[in-house]
Amino acid sequence: MDRAGVVFRVWGCRGSASTSHADTHRYGGETTCFEIISGQGERLMVDCGSGLRQFGLSLEYSGTPQLKRPQINVLLTHHHLDHIMGLGLFAPLLNESAEVVFWSEDAEASRASIDRLFSPPIWPVKLTQNKLIAFRSLAAHDNAISGFMVRPFQLRHPGGAVGYEIRIDNRKIVIATDHETGDAVLDAGVHAASTEADLLVFDAPYSEEEYANRLGWGHSPRSAALAIATKAKARRLLLTHHDPGATDSALDHIASQLGAAPLETMLARDGLLIRL
């Protein structure tokens, strides 16, 4: 068992919409997409925001000869646009160089959502006609996907969203985006999943003042994310889903304040690699 080989990579750190502007280049402007690679090289993707396009290109041009068409497993947290918008330009699907399996709570709901967006006249091709796509529903308990063990849990978000407790190589990574704290039952579920996580990924784009004007939007203030992570004794907290209007200097300012947090806390940026 390789205890040092798990890699977590951020392909998209923004929420709601992508951005490309001189003052957002350092943190990056792609919407939410993550990759986890085990010590044995097994891969699991989480969400298909605009960052998925760059991930697809990295596979196409990696120079690795593919003896066999690989299978890419993708966990979907929910179907909001910022979490699926990268699918239309995902090279492994367009070039038929990989099979892609989408895992979610409800496979048919995922298929219907992707159909709705990626079909004419909104998109020139109907993605789900691609024979290389499969949709599978997750069980409520542990799911073995490639070498990963995945357990879904409910989040508080308009229309619903699912978080994931992911175990691989004796490491635990928890993805909790998009979640608005404040529901005792759902917060307890997030806390339970996050207990002693090696990495907790949480969307908390707001200060408490900003949050006061965004109640019900489905995202949390940073103070709430820190409270859950601290109580759960998570080892690292990665804050993600930055507002597209958050500039590099604004995010630097937030990062400098996080230095006083009781656990290692970082802001996501496109291309960030975390070794666990």
Residues that bind Zn ion (CB under 5 A): 15, 80, 82, 178
**187 residue type, one letter:** D
Measured between alpha carbons, how far is 211 from 209 in angstroms, rounded to an integer? Answer: 5
Describe the strand order of the beta sheet including 71-75 as a list of residue ranges. 133-137, 99-104, 71-75, 43-46, 33-37, 7-12, 273-275
Measured between alpha carbons, how far is 217 from 86 in angstroms, rounded to an integer? Answer: 22
User: CB 152 → Zn ion: shortest distance, Å?
Assistant: 16
**Residue with smallest beta-carbon separation from Zn ion:** 80
- DSSP assigned state of 138: P
Q: Look at residue 176 and give its three-state secondary structure.
A: strand
User: CB 33 → Zn ion: shortest distance, Å?
Assistant: 11
Sequence-ordered list of residues with C-beta below 8 angstroms from that of 190, at least 6 positions apart, any chain:
153, 155, 163, 176, 179, 181, 228
User: CB 70 → Zn ion: shortest distance, Å?
Assistant: 27
Measured between alpha carbons, how far is 181 from 184 in angstroms, rounded to an integer? Answer: 8
Chain centroid, CA 57 distance in Å: 18
> Tokens standing for 270?
């496109």
User: CB 267 → Zn ion: shortest distance, Å?
Assistant: 16
User: CB 11 → Zn ion: shortest distance, Å?
Assistant: 14
